Chains A and B, each alone.
Chain A
Amino acid sequence: MVMNNHFPEDLLLQILVWLPVISLSRFKCACKSWCAFISDQTFIDEHLLHTQSPSNRNKNALFLVNQRDKIPSKHVVSTLSYETLQVSLAQVPLPSLYSGIIDKKVEIFIVGSCNETKVVPVSNLPGLPANYRASPNGIGFGFDAKTHNYKIIRNFRFFERYPNLDEYEMGLVDENEMGIMFYSEVYSLRTDSWTQVDSLPFCIWNACRGMKTNLNGIGNWWASDTDHWEGILSFDIAKEVFLITPMPDDSLIYNGYRCDVEYFLLNELVAVAISWKNRHAEGSVRMCWDVWLLHEYGVRESWTKLFRVGPLTGIRRPLEFWKNDIIFLEKDDGQLALYDVSTKEMMTILQIGGDHVFSFQVISYMKA
């Protein structure tokens, strides 16, 4: 395809792969052959490959910071450039329909990089017996590179509606005595439909943190079961199967001292930060987090302990990593801070924080 008389097509391609999606979309208007060229799947693949290559990846990457403000229905999404941490407010206004749910927001923004939001059709959940109720058990969004398809994975727990809801809510009910079913389904953008996939019987904790998907197309959550098992539940987006990896050590299973587990990605591998509270002599509470990295799915021995963050005061939880040893932290006063693990320096970067617990969400994001 000849694009113009003077400039060879292969050189033009080399220039276009460097351009961000927003420029390319605009330049479709240049002429018919440019429009066809830019819209062509081959070019899109080339562009994605180029953008994701290790040497280029970080130049275009951004962090999305999703904040829930004091006014419950208001979310603010800011972007931080990966290289410079320059803050800017997102260009895409988020549909107000979704303001209540953090993780749904994440999914919408990622799809929204093309400024297209798609209403996903209602799935066909199996008919439930009358005394069962459904509880969402984690949702994730990802890209299947093998088939160039976007997918959503959604899990549910169906359990018997216990006659005495109060007792259940007070944690006085042994879930083992209740009938529980686990159900998972995958939505494919290509087919615009949901299909059931084999589920695994695990509860996803902190589902509002969202599924963390790496570039290899594996989405991850922290999960547990009713038998005091805890670990990583992963979903292979291309193969549509679940994998589980138990946590590094049995001693880390929830007890009175351990507080919380945060999970995120570090260099495409799953990392967890397991926290402890330290009651300091003066009565103030300090938190410590041990960061572990999983090198091989399913292999417990492949966890390595990276380092300990803290003890620190005034920190609610860690969020994401930046450049290996700097970590985003959410502070008790609702601010977003950066902490350098090696130098132990702390710096506040976003002041617009809310009062809510877990009001921040930081996701690394690349436009493609």
Chain B
Amino acid sequence: MADDGVNTKVEAVSKATTETIELRTEDGGVFDVDKPVAMEFLILKSFYEDEGRVFDKTSIRLPNVKQLELSKVIEYCTRALEFGAKSAAAAGDKDAERMVRQEREGFEAEFVDELSNEMLKELILAVNFLDIKEMLDFLIRSVANRIRNRSVAYVRQFFDIENDFTPQEEDQIHQENAWAFEGVDAD
């Protein structure tokens, strides 16, 4: 019954807030974004607060963001706000808190699993531009997890790095750190 109460609360919040803002991406995408979600993008938040503007349905162009990335960002931020509300509602109840936490972890694992390396990098750049701290932390940790057990070749490919070592130089560094090459995931 506590669950129902939480869900009703979350629905009420999103229904009451019908204010949206139109965001246009550099590749022609147009998105109507709910105000609470849009305010998670600090780049937008400061725009409104600095200029002292009234939040009206102005259209904002986002030069560094593409449709695919923006849709993913909106998806994540919307769910993050929902989890935040559920967490707050569950405060004090250890079991309920744990359930929310597990639900969130499940969502995040699935979210990141679906992202290719290229997409992950593009998302990080977009989220960095939009200045969304929580999502940026999440994506950064996800990249770290993805590469931690991988080979040097994998990492070079991931970050578009050119190997500027001579074979002898690379060999030497490899020797100095030979222990670090055990148990690495196969490419």
The chain A residues found within 8 Å of chain B, CB to CB, are 3-8, 11-12, 14-16, 18-20, 22-23, 25-32, 34-35, 91-92, 115
The answer on a CB contact under 8 Å between B182 and A31 is no
B20 interface residue (CB < 8 Å to A): no
B140 interface residue (CB < 8 Å to A): yes
B177 interface residue (CB < 8 Å to A): yes
The answer on a CB contact under 8 Å between B148 and A23 is yes
User: Given the complex, which residues of B lie within 8 Å of A4, measured CB to CB?
Assistant: 159-162
Could you give 26 example pairs across A and B, Cβ below 8 Å? A5-B160, A7-B121, A7-B125, A8-B128, A11-B140, A15-B140, A15-B144, A15-B147, A18-B140, A19-B144, A20-B148, A22-B179, A23-B180, A25-B177, A25-B179, A26-B181, A27-B152, A28-B177, A30-B152, A30-B155, A30-B156, A31-B156, A31-B163, A31-B164, A91-B179, A115-B179
Of A5, A29, A92, the most chain B CB neighbours within 10 A belong to A29
B124 interface residue (CB < 8 Å to A): yes
B179 closest partner in A (C-beta): A115
Cα A5 to Cα B145 with chains together (Å)? 23
The answer on a CB contact under 8 Å between A32 and B144 is no
The answer on a CB contact under 8 Å between B160 and A29 is no
Main secondary structure of the interface of A (DSSP, over half): loop
Given A12-B159, A31-B163: 17 more A-B contacts, CB < 8 Å: A4-B161, A5-B160, A14-B140, A15-B143, A22-B180, A23-B147, A26-B180, A26-B184, A28-B173, A28-B177, A29-B165, A29-B173, A31-B156, A31-B162, A32-B164, A32-B165, A115-B179
Main secondary structure of the interface of B (DSSP, over half): helix
Interface string of B117-146 (1 = CB under 8 A from A): 000010011001000000000001101110
Cα A18 to Cα B151 with chains together (Å)? 17
User: Given the complex, which residues of A lie within 8 Å of B161, measured CB to CB?
Assistant: 3-4, 30-31, 34
The answer on a CB contact under 8 Å between A6 and B121 is yes
A39 closest partner in B (C-beta): B173
Chain B contact patch, size range: 20 to 34
The answer on a CB contact under 8 Å between A35 and B179 is no
B32 interface residue (CB < 8 Å to A): no
**Nearest 6 pairs of A and B residues by beta carbon:** A18-B144, A25-B180, A26-B180, A25-B177, A115-B179, A23-B148
Of B173, B179, B180, B181, the most chain A CB neighbours within 10 A belong to B180
B78 interface residue (CB < 8 Å to A): no
User: Given the complex, which residues of B lie within 8 Å of A11, measured CB to CB?
Assistant: 124-125, 128, 140
Of B125, B141, B144, B160, the most chain A CB neighbours within 10 A belong to B144
The answer on a CB contact under 8 Å between B152 and A26 is yes
Q: How many Å from the CB of B148 to the closest CB on chain A?
A: 5
